[in-house]
Each structure stands twice: as structure tokens, then as C-alpha cells.
Amino acid sequence: MTTTYEGGVPLAEVVRSGFVEGLHRGSVVVLDAAGTPVAAAGDVRSGIFPRSSNKPMQAIGMLRAGLPLTDPADVALVSASHAGEEFHLARVGALLAAAGLDESALHCPPDLPVGELARNAVLRAGGGPTRTQMNCSGKHTGMLLTCLAAGWPRGGYWRPEHPLQVRLRAAVEEFCGEEASAVGVDGCGAPVLAVSLTGLARAYLRLVSGEPGSVERTIADAMRAHPEIVGGTWAEDTRLMRGLPGVLAKIGAEGVIAAALPGVGAVALKIDDGAGRARMPVLVSALRRLGLQAPVLDEYAEQPLLGGGVPVGAVRPVW
């Protein structure tokens, strides 16, 4: 695996009034049930930052280090990029309170909810940014509780050299089957590890294919049982997991998403310009290469474009 991502190829076109006004480039890989690549486009061997798509593997590292969670919904929360809805915030707050902590212990920055409805509700009520509203607060809460369980210091728990982050890096590299080619700082302040799209897809396939009771299946089963916690009521990965039973999916920033279905295969992709509007149409195209069909895939096959408040075109896959 090389260090520098070489960039992708045209994966989606932006069509307005029958005129192609733009293209979204990126890279995508499709693995079959055995983990063999069956289709790919762009650079799927170099490292990219999967951003929050790494969270399920980080959660594996937390559980292995002693994170004492028994409720699958809480397991889903530490793997989540939540939308800041009331049920998300209540669950984060309850976990912190049970450990004798409050949101001041979190290193993630204060933020407004990423979910539009939740964000607007906060603003209408006169509220502002808080750490628990930040979409990674579940992950950071899990990191803190892991430190308490393992006897590690809470101070600097986000630093790459901290014992916690060393364990989490080992889990990501193990399940991706490759060493991280770079370490950066994610939007939440925690480390983000660069792996290839092939490695990312491989990790998701291992998550859903693990033996019942294994730590990887515990994570995958929790996320699939509580998809609304993983994203939010209207989140794309949440709705995909609701509409395609058995699939595990997780969005990452900058146009990343990974998904896997046991006995079928896995997909990982990145849209180079980070545009979320191209992510789902390309994912649907990739999942259909694995023979999958479902109404939710039809829903996301194209992203409508509006003109004057009515549909006049779409973002649609060309790969």
C-alpha cells in the first residue's frame, strides 16, 4: 500500500435539464463474500482517511480493552456518528453520569447537532454548541469509559501515543489487514488512521462474518439492531440498514462510506471532493454489482436536483 492517494475516476455525473454540468470523481471497490475484489475503479490500494467509517473497528479495540457495556444500544453509540437527537444525547449523558463524569471530560469540541432537525430545534430554543451534541461524543464517551475500566489515565486519551489509542490502532490495522499509512487528527480531535479502500471493505466483511459472540459480531449486531443510534432518524446509513436487512453500513466524512452483507460481500468508496450527494448513488451502483435489490436502493439510486423547487435533474452514477 502506498502512502499517497492518487485520486479517482469519474463515478457520478451531475445532470441538470439534460445537460451534464459536472462530475464527481472517486474510488470504489467491491468484494465478494470470500473477500475477493470483483470490481474496482480509481485508487483502492493507497491509504485514505476513512474518517468515521473507522469507528466500528475502534469500538472493537475498546471492547477488547475492557469497555463494560452490556446494552447493545450503547455499543452502537460508541460506533456512531449521531445526529444529536434527544435520544442520542440522553444516552451519552446517562453513560457519562454512570461513570461520575460530565461532558467537560470529553475532548471532542462543542458543536451543534449534525442533523438538520435537531440543530434547528436547538437554535429555536436559544441553545448553542455543546460537547455531547458533537456527533462523535458517543465514541469519546466510550474512550473515556475504556480508560476507566483499564486503569489508564483519562488525560490525553486522544493522543496517538496513549495506551488507549495504541490498542485502537492495533484493532483497525488487524481488521483491515494492513498497517496504517498515516495518522491524522479527525474532526473530533481523536486520531484518524489512513487505510486503503480495499482494507476498509475487508474490515466490514470481517465484522459481519464473525462468529456469533465474537467482539466483531457484537459490534456489527449492535449497529444493525440499532441503526437509528448509528446515524439518526434521517441518516443515509441508518435508512440503508433499515431497508436492507443484514447490511452493516457506516458513513465517514469527505465522501466515504463502507457497507457489507454476510454471505454477499462488501463495498467501500470515497468521493474525492467529499460531496455527500454522490456517495449514495455510487454505493447503490456498487451494491447492485453484488446482485442486491431493494426499494431503499431504488430510493438512493439518484440524488434529485431542483430548479425552482421542482426536480430538473439528478446526480447519478456513471460507473
Q: Return phi, psi of residue 19, to 5°.
A: -110, 130
The per-residue DSSP string of the chain comes to: --SS----EEEEEEEETTEEEEEEEEEEEEEETTS-EEEEES--SSEE--GGGGHHHHHHHHHHTT-----HHHHHHHT------HHHHHHHHHHHHHTT--GGG--SPPB--SSHHHHHHHHHTT---BTTTSTTHHHHHHHHHHHHHHT--STTTTSTTSHHHHHHHHHHHHHHTS--S-EEE-TTSSEEE-EEHHHHHHHHHHHHHSPTTSHHHHHHHHHHH-HHHHS-TT-HHHHHHHHSTT-EEEEETTTEEEEEETTTEEEEEEETT--HHHHHHHHHHHHHTTT---HHHHHHSSEEEEETTEEEEEEEE--
The stretch 9-13 carries a mean pLDDT of: 98
Of the chain, the percentage scoring pLDDT greater than 90 comes to 97
Over residues 249-278, the mean pLDDT reads: 97
Rg of the chain on CA atoms, in Å: 19
pLDDT at position 3 over 90: no
Chain centroid to Cα 266, Å, comes to 14
Q: How much is the pLDDT for 227? A: 98
pLDDT above 60: residue 117 = yes
Taking only the tens place, the pLDDT of each residue in 188-247 is: 999 999 999 999 999 999 999 999 999 999 999 999 999 999 999 999 999 999 999 999
Residue 85: predicted pLDDT: 96
DSSP track, 276-293: HHHHHHHHHHHHHTTT--
Tens digits of residue pLDDT in 55-84: 999 999 999 999 999 999 999 999 999 999
The identity of residue 24, as a single letter, is H
Query: Residue 13: pLDDT band by 50, 70, 90 thresholds?
Result: very high
Contact 267, 283 (CB under 8 A): yes
pLDDT value for 4: 87
- Residue 37 has, within 13 A of its CA and on its CB side, a CA count of 13
- Residues 171-204 have pLDDT tens digits of 999 999 999 999 999 999 999 999 999 999 999 9
The chain-wide mean pLDDT, for the chain, equals 97
Model confidence at 1: pLDDT above 60: no
Question: Is the pLDDT confidence value at 115 over 90?
Answer: no
Mean pLDDT of 29-47: 98
Local confidence band at 2 (pLDDT 50, 70, 90 cut-offs): low
pLDDT band at 144 (very low <50, low <70, confident <90, very high): very high
Spatial distance between the Cα atoms of 218 and 222, rounded to a whole number of angstroms: 6
